[in-house]
Chains A and B, each alone.
Chain A
């Protein structure tokens, strides 16, 4: 089965600790994305990558870091500098852009991070 996997589903951390969220896809997609979703809110873009070894900041990149060393993998690190890290984190991927816009995005099941 092709798809996107995120692990773990639930993650608990103490304040002041860095934590890395995993995202793996076997869809052969070039582009990958990280979103943050707070209760009752929409999706806010953290980082995205259009190609291996390259990534761009999204709208709320402060306190987060990413890497894209392999096409299949796009891990997100939530650092201690992120002031309010408790949220639902969603990873997505797609084939990139088309002549008229963007291909549809496929989302992973998400990771619920709780920091106390």
Chain B
């Protein structure tokens, strides 16, 4: 079945440093979604990307969809302690009508 690889698995940064997580697929994607899960909480939808090369920004967060629609990235500028959590990408499973979640990247921010 379709698989989505997410790297890194874990990242520890000092507050104010930048952070990037990557999501890679072996097949072309119709779209990609990003979610954030705070420690002890539940995933919360952040954004969806649909177009090749698309770039969307939410304050300090920048989301990018690759030109070939096989990869995506989430970049956080000047991290804050409120950014702590696990970031998941999710892709549409096509005929199975389900979302396939990546393995997630756990971000730790040291004040």
- Tell me if B68 counts as interface (CB < 8 A to partner A): no
Interface size class of A (residues with CB under 8 A): 20 to 34
0/1 interface trace, chain A 58-101, chain B, CB 8 Å (1 if under): 11000000000000000000000000000000101000110011
Q: A40-B106, A42-B88 are in contact. Are A105 and B99 (CB under 8 A)?
A: yes
A-B contact count (CB 8 A): 62
- The interface of chain B, by Cβ under 8 A from chain A, is 1, 30-31, 33, 35, 41-45, 48, 50, 88, 90-92, 96-99, 101-104, 106
- Contact present for B106 and A104 (CB under 8 Å): no
Q: A42-B88, A109-B42, A110-B42 are in contact. Are A104 and B104 (CB under 8 A)?
A: no
5 contacts between A and B (CB under 8 A): A33-B98, A48-B98, A56-B96, A102-B92, A109-B41
5 smallest CB-CB distances across A and B, nearest first, come from A101-B92, A101-B31, A104-B45, A107-B42, A43-B101
- Tell me if A19 counts as interface (CB < 8 A to partner B): no
User: For residue B45, which residues in chain A have a CB less than 8 angstroms away from its CB?
Assistant: 104-106
